[in-house]
Structure 1
Amino acid sequence: MHGDIAPPWERFPDYERYTLGWRMGSGEDWLGLWGVFLEQLAPDRETRIAYLRRHPPAPISWAGAVHKVLHPTGRADGEDEGEEGDEDEDEGDEDDPIAAASRRSALLDEGLIASDVSFTIWLGQQDGVCWPWESYETPEEAARYNTREFWFWSRQVAALRRGDGWTPPAVPEGWGACASALASGDAGPIEPRDGLLSLARLLCAGYVKAPWQLGLELTDFADSFEDDMGYVDAFRLWGMSAFDDAHQLRRYLEATRVPPGWEAWIAEHFPVD
């Protein structure tokens, strides 16, 4: 195989670690292609370091995969790197979190992995702004079925809004509830019972508020992924799609001043390294 195959975190930055795309979609196909490329790549560290440095740093959740690129063991095909990103650690270390943490630390120091890098990769691939209503008739649909890319779009547009001459386009009728949030950056009052619409309005405004900022309680969580989910459940859906690593999550929790009572819930639903 000739040429250079982009690593999966660069090819599919909008795939979160939970998506089936790494097991049953185009991500799985790319992992197989990448594996064939790695099998043909010279095994010495210098060659493999050079390969990795030709591409953006990997998300921290891919640390195990990056480690395997640098330390091939004869099965560097990536077939087990799937929806969890990279959690198939080297044999003997699967149950050794200290060893895994040490590897992550070393890769961070080398600049081969980084926090919150997928958004930067995604942004560099954009040619202008792709408005979500071009693909989804309602904001609820975009919030539920394209949560991660909606979040990336939200961050892109928030930066544009901070610049001079921000003029948002007219939104179609089905997105009318989000027009003011998109234009002003203010989502206005949130209706906790309309979780997906509330999430969409906040994404259009450029900032997702935590449930505790809205006065909601853990008892408001229904553990639902249905269309009628409340805001705490919609926030769970967003968090599963938005946070790639513990550094990124911790920054958000500190900024929103998470109450101690929510910490166990966060750890359960957003399991990041």
Structure 2
Amino acid sequence: MDWKESCRSRLREHLDAQGDLAPPWERFPDYERHTIGWRMGAGEDWMGLWSVFLDQLAPDPEARITYLRRHPPAPISWADAVHAVLCPTGRGDDDDDEDGDDDDPTAAAQRRAALLEQGLIASDVSYSIWLGQQKDLSWPWDHHETPESAARYNTREFWFWSRRAAELRRGGAWTPPGVPETWRACAHALESGDAGPVDPREGLLSLARMFCAGQVKAPWQLGLKLTDFADSFDDDMGYVDAFRLWGMSAFDDASHLRRYLEATRAPPAWEAWVAEQLPFD
């Protein structure tokens, strides 16, 4: 039995009460659009199931838009996949994974604008999808022995957790437990909402402390310079590199990123760096 046939044989067990398979952005909101997670493990399996489901879905636009409206809007970064759902003619097995880099930029922008107007895609929507799936508040040390590990390997979900924790803190419903010894460096940030001084050499730990405080400060807010960027993804990366790692995980669209840059008053030189490191169509 080949992989696609395996997906067909297992599809029914994953359908909801309406006979739908949840779109990938709903099933895994903590996965970025182009993460390798879609090409291995549970993410790859879900993409295979979704491809089979779409093959069986009625091809007329009304049926497909009705399917999409039964589910949360997709992040803007998924606009190409949403368009492929609505216009299935010629869709190959792997089209949902394609970046659309060869597409005409003007046509792609027009499609995004139309999908936004229809409410089928939206800015910064993954967090609300993720939040709606949460029950009790878990703690990052339940899944990662150290804050550096959580910031490095679970950046997006750690950030979503940070946003939720910040909302609870603002609402007065915040009673964090004691932290394990390996998380002691984050205890004050978790309790007070203040990340404290940042060591630019300890990028991942500094990022984790900011997550625990509920706010990520930009390098330019900390007085760091463009020369502090080492273009590194190593575990000993500095703060500017850790900030880039966060940006790659936190932002699904240019509008959301623009709001952050405006709120933090990014200088022109840093804006140019962000545009290069975190490109959006």
Do the two structures share a fold, i.e. TM-score over 0.5? yes
Contact 1:35 1:76 in 2 (8 A): no
Alignment length (residue pairs): 265
Contact 1:181 1:204 in 2 (8 A): yes
Q: What is the distance in 1 between the residues matched to 2:103 and 2:83?
A: 16
Choose from 23, 35, 40 the match for 1:7: 23
Deviation at 1:80, TM superposition (A): 3.3
* Matches for 1:88-167 after TM superposition, within 5 Å: 88=100, 94-167=102-175
Contact 1:81 1:88 in 2 (8 A): no
2:69 corresponds in structure 1 to 53
In the alignment, is residue 196 of structure 1 matched against residue 204 of structure 2? yes
Q: What is the distance in 2 between the residues matched to 1:170 and 1:141?
A: 19
In the alignment, is residue 81 of structure 1 matched against residue 96 of structure 2? yes
What TM-score does the superposition give when structure 1 sets the normalisation length? 0.93
Amino acid at match of 1:30: W
1:206 corresponds in structure 2 to 214
Q: Which structure 1 residue ranges, 5 or more long, are not aligned?
A: none
Contact 2:81 2:95 in 1 (8 A): no
Deviation at 1:32, TM superposition (A): 1.2
Q: What is the distance in 2 between the residues matched to 1:142 and 1:189?
A: 20
Q: What is the distance in 2 between the residues matched to 1:165 and 1:51?
A: 37
Deviation at 1:237, TM superposition (A): 0.7
Runs of 4+ in 1 over 2 A off after TM superposition: 74-77, 86-89
1:32 corresponds in structure 2 to 48
2:252 corresponds in structure 1 to 244
**Percent identity for Structure 1 against Structure 2:** 75
Q: What is the distance in 2 between the residues matched to 1:165 and 1:63?
A: 36
What TM-score does the superposition give when structure 2 sets the normalisation length? 0.91
2:240 corresponds in structure 1 to 232
Q: Which structure 2 residue ranges, 5 or more long, are not aligned?
A: 1-10, 13-18
Q: What is the distance in 2 between the residues matched to 1:17 and 1:95?
A: 17
Q: What is the distance in 1 between the residues matched to 2:49 and 2:63?
A: 19
Deviation at 1:24, TM superposition (A): 2.4
Q: What is the distance in 2 between the residues matched to 1:98 and 1:165?
A: 47
Deviation at 1:272, TM superposition (A): 2.1
Amino acid at match of 1:132: P
Contact 2:200 2:206 in 1 (8 A): yes
Bigger shift: residues 22-31 or 51-60 = 22-31
User: RMSD of the TM alignment (CA)?
Assistant: 1.4
Q: What is the distance in 2 between the residues matched to 1:15 and 1:149?
A: 8
Amino acid at match of 1:269: Q
Closer, same or farther: CA 63–18 of 1 in aligned 2, 3 Å = closer
- After superposition, the C-alpha distances for 1:56-105 in whole angstroms (9 at most, x for unaligned) are 0000011011111111114264x2333xxx5237xxxx341110000000
Contact 2:131 2:164 in 1 (8 A): yes
Q: What is the distance in 2 between the residues matched to 1:144 and 1:137?
A: 12
Contact 1:18 1:240 in 2 (8 A): no
2:86 corresponds in structure 1 to 70
